[in-house]
Structure 1
């Protein structure tokens, strides 16, 4: 089993990044160690040694995906000052979510989100709930501080998050960026 009490080795970090690229291209649902190891220049035995188990590898991959998500959220928070409000934050977030370059990451996110709901005790545990909290936090930062902690403000950011997530799922399913963008804009500019 991998020793998690020390910083990861360079090989651990390298293989995690390569595996992360692999799952962004192939998905997490049917992840098999043999094809993964072959494509990234390793072996199933090395992956098991470094990550402890397949579930340990999945947890590490989800943590890596969450790093990307948190970096995005920090960038969005910095780009949308509080006076800009929720509509500006929603526009900025939708622009990022609907960018075709981010599709592989978002498909992986959706897979992990769904698995977290149907397998709450597996390696996906808490992924969905954690990501909701992350997104609500960035949306709260776009609201004026005097309103941020009110039930109405929480309801507004929850509603915006629901619209963005629903439009994202629709976009990933259909590829219809024009229609989903129009729907998001209609919500943001009633």
Structure 2
């Protein structure tokens, strides 16, 4: 990467937004600059100039995806504070957002970035997975009572809820079965609400 990158510009921001919409629809696994540039009204040369390299463009796209994620989390955190919502209630709201068909492209991109950061930890995806885990845990633990969120049991509870949400999302993206995955997630969260001290696993009736 060169030492001097061009400063942010309106054109760079515009192309980043267009490229972001493109990868939300087409993914980034086999991202090629030529078809991307053609689709967004630019050229590979311009993209390389504005983003320094293909890796730089990928980093910018992942940062853009994370910005959407953080905006969502901020909205949910604010709503939870206003309503004094507990962990199961906030997790239900999170799942409703995850299950919305309008968000499939973004979430598929998120899963792709998550997986690539594990298989290519030194590439432009570096740190994406660990950062998003911490982002979501911060939201979930913020809904717990203070004495619980700082405890081992409280962290285990938030981690279990995150695992249920993430697992349900992966299943939903793979199968498109909204009814089954929503029923499974809702059942776990209902049991968690009824038995809040059982932090690590669903309660069996």
**Normalising by the residue count of structure 1, what TM-score does the alignment of the two structures yield?**
0.96
- Matched residues in 2 for 1:4 and 1:72: separation? 30
1:49/1:113 CA distance change after superposition, 3 Å: same
Contact kept, 8 Å, 2:5 with 2:52, in 1: the verdict is: no
Aligned partner of residue 39 in structure 1, secondary structure: helix
Following TM superposition, where does structure 1 have runs of at least 4 consecutive aligned residues deviating by more than 6 angstroms?
none
Could you say which residue in structure 2 is the equivalent of 1:51? 51
CA 1:69–1:163 in 2, change beyond 3 Å: closer, same or farther?
same
1:3 Cα deviation after fit: 4.5
**Where does residue 65 of structure 1 map in the other structure?**
65
Q: Are residues 1:25 and 2:45 paired?
A: no
* 1:104–1:113 Cα change, 3 Å: same
Partners of 1:83 and 1:143 within 8 A in 2: no
Pairing of 1:151-166 with structure 2 (within 5 A): 151-166=152-167
Within a 5 Å distance, the mapping from 1:119-158 to structure 2 comes to 119-158=120-159
Aligned match of 2:89? 88
Q: In the alignment, is the contact (CA less than 8 A) between 1:23 and 1:108 conserved in 2?
A: yes
Cα distance, 1:83 vs. partner? 4.0
Decide whether aligned partners of structure 1 residues 83 and 64 sit closer, same or farther in structure 2, where only a CA change above 3 A counts.
same
Which residue in 2 is equivalent to 1:35? 35
Q: Say if 1:112 and 1:124, in contact at 8 Å, map to a contact too.
A: yes
Aligned residues: 189
Shift of 1:5: 7.6
Q: Which runs of 5+ in 2 are unaligned?
A: 192-205
Measure, in 1, the Cα distance between the counterparts of 2:31 and 2:167: 26
RMSD of aligned residue pairs (Cα, Å)? 1.3
Whether the 8 Å contact between 2:6 and 2:49 is mirrored in structure 1 is no
Q: Which has the larger radius of gyration?
A: 2
Cross-structure match for 1:108:
109
Match of 1:176 in 2: 177
Query: Relative contact order (C-alpha < 8 Å, sep 6+): which is higher?
Result: 1
Matched residues in 2 for 1:179 and 1:103: separation? 17
With over 3 angstroms needed to count, the CA separation of the structure-2 counterparts of 1:22 and 1:51, relative to structure 1, is same
Q: Secondary structure at the match of 2:148?
A: coil
Q: CA separation in 2, counterparts of 1:181 and 1:44? A: 42
